[in-house]
Amino acid sequence: MARQERALRTRRLILEAAASVFDECGYERATIGEVVARAGVTRGAVYFHFASKRDLAQGVIEEQFEAEAVPERPCKLQEFVDTGMVVTHLAPIDPLVSAGVRLSVDQAAEGHLGFDAAPGWIARLERLLVAAGERGELLPHVVPADTAGLMTASWVGVQLQSQRFTGRADLADRVATLYRHLMPSIAVPGVLACLDLAPDRGARVYAEMVAARGGSAPEGATATREAGEPAE
Amino acid sequence: MARQERALRTRRLILEAAASVFDECGYERATIGEVVARAGVTRGAVYFHFASKRDLAQGVIEEQFEAEAVPERPCKLQEFVDTGMVVTHLAPIDPLVSAGVRLSVDQAAEGHLGFDAAPGWIARLERLLVAAGERGELLPHVVPADTAGLMTASWVGVQLQSQRFTGRADLADRVATLYRHLMPSIAVPGVLACLDLAPDRGARVYAEMVAARGGSAPEGATATREAGEPAE
């Protein structure tokens, strides 16, 4: 394995370990020692890639945007839906997504250290809404930035509620309810009637993404690890 | 002042002090000593009313449901909207509401200690949706429990986002955007057209509530303290 490839693999391993620690303990209680132990690397290796716990948290937030986007569709609002539904599918099984949510929400990190996945998700959704608008898919009153912000905020709230009430067992159902409530005020009727908003949509799209890359997960792509597959 | 009245006033004073401490520090960092200092009462007085920090947190959560409900309206969906909008108006100015949100969301309290205002809000909203359904105000597919849960979850997510991005300066606008997006999939068209979803709706309804009680806040009612009025 070339040296650069090995370094990337180690970096990824460290980020996955850090994600699982942040996800379980929160930012404040997380320690670099625990990340070292879980990653099975040396302390020196961690510090080679990340100068501090803060850097590790920032790395976890950013890593989720390294993942490939959902497959392109003729209907951009379906891509908008798919984006949220694939993340919904991954949240309970991918520590990077789960830790990203927790770090973003966690208010215990006094002074709001600024770990926030929301701006990245809002920007991604806003681009899709703008594209949808150019294709005539949006109702005339929709303001892409506002609707992207609302979608992101509501998803976070639904995720917290599902986590609290059922340990995320009903997350896909609750997110489907969210889309069923929001899309009628976003999509023109002809598009609305064609949208797939079923609770298992995220799982199906993700399976399609895995199949498209031949069933194997390229390194360095968050959303591309197989569900349940342990980190190497 | 009668002894019981004095005890209620002290209890309220302690809860307001506790709310401001939880709101600023979160559950884990909050101390009873700080509550004693802010309430200006003796440590003995705090322990007379509350056995532990845990009891104080539970008291803060419950106190917000002691507040009067919004005024009754012929249209139950307007009451549904008003309920969320008055809380939106109070969140930045009433520590009991603000601390209720923080305690409910705060995941730093390891093991999820079970402080959660959400079930109370969901139950209140569900009752209003059921009443709305009996009056023919709901679209046929609406399931009151699901929609009440979604509304509560989305509100929490919007509140977090507003707090994070603007220190709640745009909370009323963001919540109005939430209602504009959700109500078209809840209300029948004739009702939808009559709903007041303006960002200042919460402030107006709250002013009406204050005026209805002669402009003075009865003790022991969370949502009945005047905006900005310091605790006595």
Q: What percent of chain B has pLDDT over 70?
A: 88
pLDDT digits (tens, 9 = 90+) for B162-211: 988 998 999 999 999 999 999 999 999 999 999 999 999 999 999 999 99
Give the residue among A206, A152, A195, A145 at the shortest CA–CA distance from A175.
Answer: A152
Q: Which residues of A touch B118 (CB under 8 A)?
A: 161, 164
Cβ of A153 and B160 within 8 Å? yes
Nearest CA in chain B to A116: B164
- In the block, tokens 């007041």 appear at B196
Return all residues near B182 (Cβ < 8 A) that are at least 6 apart.
A181, A182, A185, B150, B151, B154
Cβ of B154 and A158 within 8 Å? yes
Q: Which residues of A touch B108 (CB under 8 A)?
A: 26, 28, 106-108
Is the Cβ–Cβ distance between B149 and B121 less than 8 Å?
A: no
Nearest CA in chain A to B175: A150
Rounded to an integer, the average pLDDT of A215-229 is 44
Give the residue among B30, B163, B179 at the shortest CA–CA distance from B97.
Answer: B163
* Interface residue of A28, A112, A154 to substitute, partner B, most B CBs within 10 Å: A154
CA separation for the pair B130, A7 (Å, rounded)? 58
Burial of B128 (0-12, 13-18, 19+ CB in 10 A): buried
Please report, for residues B16, B24, B33, B83, the alpha-carbon distance to residue B29 in angstroms, rounded to integers and kept in the order given. 17, 9, 11, 31
Neighbouring-strand partners of residue B187? B138
List, in order of start, the domains of chain A with CATH numbers.
Answer: 3-63 (1.10.10.60), 67-224 (1.10.357)
- B214 φ/ψ sector (left φ>0, alpha ψ -120 to 50, else beta): left
Highest mean pLDDT: which range of A15-19, A108-112, B3-7, B103-107: A15-19
Q: What percent of chain A has pLDDT over 90?
A: 67
Q: B64-68, B122-126, B191-195, B216-220: which has the minimum mean pLDDT?
A: B216-220
The 10 Å CB-count burial string (b at 16+, else e) for A119-147 is ebbbebbbbbbebbbeeebbbeebebebb
pLDDT of residue A33: 94
Stronger pLDDT, B169 or A220, i.e. the higher one? B169
Q: Give B50 to chain A, closest Cα distance, Å.
A: 24
pLDDT digits (tens, 9 = 90+) for A41-99: 999 999 999 999 999 999 998 888 877 789 999 999 999 999 999 999 999 999 999 99
Cβ of B181 and A147 within 8 Å? yes
Nearest CA in chain B to A139: B181
Of the candidates B102, B150, B186, which has its C-beta nearest A158's C-beta?
Answer: B150
pLDDT of residue B127: 97
Q: How confident is the model at residue A208 (pLDDT cuts 50, 70, 90)?
A: very high
Is the Cβ–Cβ distance between A157 and B154 less than 8 Å?
A: yes
Residue A219 has pLDDT above 90, yes or no: no
pLDDT of residue A216: 58
Cβ count within 10 A of residue B204: 15
pLDDT digits (tens, 9 = 90+) for A158-196: 999 998 899 899 999 999 999 999 999 999 999 999 999
CA separation for the pair B55, B114 (Å, rounded)? 11
Is the Cβ–Cβ distance between B124 and A179 less than 8 Å?
A: no
pLDDT digits (tens, 9 = 90+) for B77-107: 999 999 999 999 999 999 999 998 888 887 6
pLDDT digits (tens, 9 = 90+) for B210-221: 998 886 554 444
pLDDT digits (tens, 9 = 90+) for A13-57: 999 999 999 998 888 889 999 999 999 999 999 999 999 999 999
Q: How confident is the model at residue A121 (pLDDT cuts 50, 70, 90)?
A: very high
Return all residues near A19 (Cβ < 8 A) that are at least 6 apart.
A60, A63, A95, A96, A98, A99, A100
| Mean per-residue pLDDT over chain B, rounded | 88
Say what the ipTM of the complex is.
0.85
Q: Which residues of A touch B102 (CB under 8 A)?
A: 107
Cβ of A116 and B149 within 8 Å? no
pLDDT of residue B28: 84
Q: How confident is the model at residue B63 (pLDDT cuts 50, 70, 90)?
A: confident
pLDDT of residue A224: 40
Residue B109 has pLDDT above 80, yes or no: no
Q: A97-111, A147-161, B72-86: which has the minimum mean pLDDT?
A: A97-111
* Interface residue of B23, B104, B121, B150 to substitute, partner A, most A CBs within 10 Å: B150
Q: What is the DSSP letter of B121?
A: H
Cβ count within 10 A of residue A209: 19
Cβ of B164 and A112 within 8 Å? yes
* Interface residue of B80, B107, B138 to substitute, partner A, most A CBs within 10 Å: B107
